[in-house]
Amino acid sequence: MQQEALQGFGSPRICTDNPRRSPSQPLSPRSSSRAKTRTRNAIACDTCRSRRTKCDSRRPSCSYCRSRGIDCHYQPAVEAPASRFEVELAAINQRLDHLTNLLSSSPSHSYPHASHGSANSDDTREQFSDQENTPFKLLSTRRMMGVLGLEEDIADELVRMERKPLALNNPGSSRLYIVQHQQAVCALAAFSEHIHIWYPILGTGFSEQYFRIISGPLIPSPESCLVLLVAAIGLLAQETVQNSGLNGRADSSYFEAALASLPTVISDCGLTSVQCLVLFSIYYCCRLRPCQAHDYSLIASFKVQNLLKGFDSIEREDSETRAQAIRAYWAVLLLESELCAQFDLAKSGIWSLDEHVGLPDCRNTWQFDIDAGSPLAAISPASVPSTTSASTDKVQSYFLAETSMRRMLHRCNTAIKRNINGKIIYAPGIALELELQLDEWYNYLPEVVRFHTYLNPTTLEVPPVCPLSNFLRVQYYCCKTAIYWPAVYQAIEDGAANGQLLDHCRRFFDSYIQLMPSIIAAFQGCIVNRWTLFASIFMNSMATMKAVSTTCLAAIGSPQLYQCFASVRNVDQRIIEMSPSLALLRNAMEKKLAVG
């Protein structure tokens, strides 16, 4: 990647019209059967505490002790009771472990199974047929594309489209970027509202760091790169929400400036470099470029794994840094799992640590004060203590619920078995057990992120919920369609269905009807996952259209199914046109809808 010529101290510089600068121990492994206690940082060292002066709590020595050569010592962290969210998630994991053990001990399920996002899915692809692949992971299966009436190499064509270089301004010229202070504030506010709620990786006090760095000389470093990426993604999110488009490109100058720090980010081994790579991945997700996003998520994955393994050999490290590293680990895991859902892409092996890394704690993460950060504010807005904000509980609950869902998908989501002749067939008993496991996950959801399973049968509308809850609803019904897809596939292959098999095909149709209103809404509200969300709309719809056109299943096709087929046209076409690959999927789906 080319690097932009540097300005001043060898770096691009962004100037603002306002030069003012604003001045826990890891949680238990996810496999634990009970909630553990967490720890709180010491507020002040012994020296500052005895002097009754403010301590900046820096580790291993605070500023006061370091400047005077005093041995800085902190009291041991005080354990606090586990929160209700940790208790609820521990109950989910306990039930998940129990059900997985039951499935693993079942004679009909004693074979290595491929899982969503699994590191061993490539190995099992040759062992099993396309029947075991779920509707959201069918693009990479050539034979299944033929079954659905599509070109068998459509996935290869999508990858070719996505691998085309992203056009940037000429990075070889020296440039001076001038932006208003108001623009910097709005970018930070938009990042907080539309991006950080999905991947809460930043630490407390980031607002102060943001305005301090963005107002000064941007010497290439991980710290300046992080700030520039936040500004770029924030402006991109703001423009996307306001205009449903990406044509204004107010973000490009910030992003190109961030690229100047990329060599330093790659060579650095610290937490900030991991956060930068996560944000590079998120930026490309927002630009509807999943392959580029996946490339950066892979690098971030290797870095964060090495970082966490390095922590294990350090007896005393900053608990706040470790908590941020744990959140970064789960953010990378979620990103990689989402981006690998549709393509046959390389895996980083990040799942190898999921049993050993503590649960993410988002209660002490950064949160932007939207009111104080309005464009009319006379001062640079500051971070607010997330522990006092009700929205932090929602982000914490969502992040825990989403990691639990991904773990469930990774471990087992395929209701198939081998018969005595070695042939893969549908396993209805496993399907029912998997659905029970999924419903247990739903029952343990905290109220703050709980969604409704009710659907108005006439309008196909669900009660309105926040974007985080709605995305969990999408995951819930995507999982249900995945559980019952093998039943539909067997009916398509055999040309016959009755009894329990027919009932489970009906459950597949019902899950699709529940899924569509939420996933279309999520496409509009979840900027980060738009590409994968539309790919899921495409594959679930194509699979369902094929199923309902099968003679043995046509009788159970309800009017709501055809209403859902028509609803895919409600997706904002201006967004689709910005991605050649999504436009290709949209056109293929339109042809199918026009035929029948």
Residue 194 has pLDDT above 90, yes or no: yes
Check residues 221 and 246 and name the one with the higher pLDDT: 221
pLDDT at position 390 is 63
**Residue 78: strand, helix, or coil:** coil
Which amino acid is located at 547 in the chain?
A: A
| Integer Cα distance of 517 and 511 in angstroms | 11
Residue 28 has pLDDT above 80, yes or no: no
What single string gives the DSSP state of each residue in 126-163? TTS-GGGS-GGG-TT-HHHHHHTTS-TTHHHHHHHHHT
pLDDT, mean of residues 306-315: 72
pLDDT at position 432 is 92
- Strand 13-15 with 176-178, pairing: parallel
Place of tokens 């709309």: 537
Rounded to the nearest integer, the mean pLDDT of the chain is 77
CB atoms within 10 A of CB 436: 12
Model-level pTM greater than 0.85? no
Residue 181 has pLDDT above 90, yes or no: no
Best CA proximity match to 571, nearest among 544, 593, 554: 593
Burial (CB count within 10 angstroms: exposed 0-12, middle 13-18, buried 19+), residue 13: middle
Best CA proximity match to 281, nearest among 332, 346, 210: 332
Check residues 116 and 272 and name the one with the higher pLDDT: 272
pLDDT at position 13 is 38
Q: Which CATH number fits domain 42-76: 3.40.1710.10, 3.30.1330.20, 4.10.240.10, 3.50.50.60?
A: 4.10.240.10
Structure tokens belonging to residue 499: 């009894």
pLDDT at position 343 is 72
Residue 380 has pLDDT above 60, yes or no: no
pLDDT band at 412 (very low <50, low <70, confident <90, very high): low
Say which range, 93-102, 152-161, 419-428, has the weakest mean pLDDT: 93-102
Q: What are phi and psi of 416, to 5 degrees?
A: -135, 165
pLDDT, mean of residues 26-47: 50
Q: What is the percentage of the chain residues whose pLDDT exceeds 90?
A: 36
pLDDT, mean of residues 320-337: 92
pLDDT at position 103 is 46
pLDDT band at 86 (very low <50, low <70, confident <90, very high): low
pLDDT band at 413 (very low <50, low <70, confident <90, very high): low
Domain boundaries, the chain: 13-17+179-398, 42-76, 128-153+412-595
**Long-range contact pairs involving 240-244 (C-beta distance under 8 Å, separation at least 24):** 240/286, 240/527, 241/190, 241/194, 241/527, 244/572, 244/574, 244/575
pLDDT band at 101 (very low <50, low <70, confident <90, very high): low
Residue 274 has pLDDT above 90, yes or no: yes
Best CA proximity match to 487, nearest among 566, 424, 537, 531: 424
What's the pLDDT tens digit per position in 445-463?
Answer: 999 999 999 888 888 888 8
| Integer Cα distance of 62 and 343 in angstroms | 48
Highest averaged pLDDT of the listed ranges 6-15, 124-133, 306-315: 306-315
pLDDT at position 304 is 94
Best CA proximity match to 138, nearest among 586, 512, 472, 544: 544
**Residue 408: strand, helix, or coil:** helix
pLDDT, mean of residues 23-40: 38
Residue 30 has pLDDT above 60, yes or no: no
pLDDT band at 94 (very low <50, low <70, confident <90, very high): low
pLDDT band at 335 (very low <50, low <70, confident <90, very high): very high
Highest averaged pLDDT of the listed ranges 31-40, 90-99, 263-272: 263-272
What is the separation, in whole angstroms, between the first and last Cα of the chain? Answer: 46
Given phi > 0 = left and psi -120 to 50 = alpha, else beta, which region is 499?
left
pLDDT band at 379 (very low <50, low <70, confident <90, very high): very low
Is the separation of the CB atoms in 337 and 302 below 8 Å? no
pLDDT at position 384 is 46
CB atoms within 10 A of CB 104: 12
pLDDT at position 356 is 87
Check residues 331 and 246 and name the one with the higher pLDDT: 331
Check residues 204 and 14 and name the one with the higher pLDDT: 204
Is the separation of the CB atoms in 232 and 248 below 8 Å? no
pLDDT, mean of residues 362-378: 59
Is the separation of the CB atoms in 551 and 504 below 8 Å? no
What single string gives the DSSP state of each residue in 303-362? HHHHHHHHHHT-SS--HHHHHHHHHHHHHHHHHHHHHTTTS------GGGGTTTSBPP--
Given phi > 0 = left and psi -120 to 50 = alpha, else beta, which region is 6?
beta
pLDDT at position 462 is 86
pLDDT at position 399 is 93
Is the separation of the CB atoms in 447 and 472 below 8 Å? no
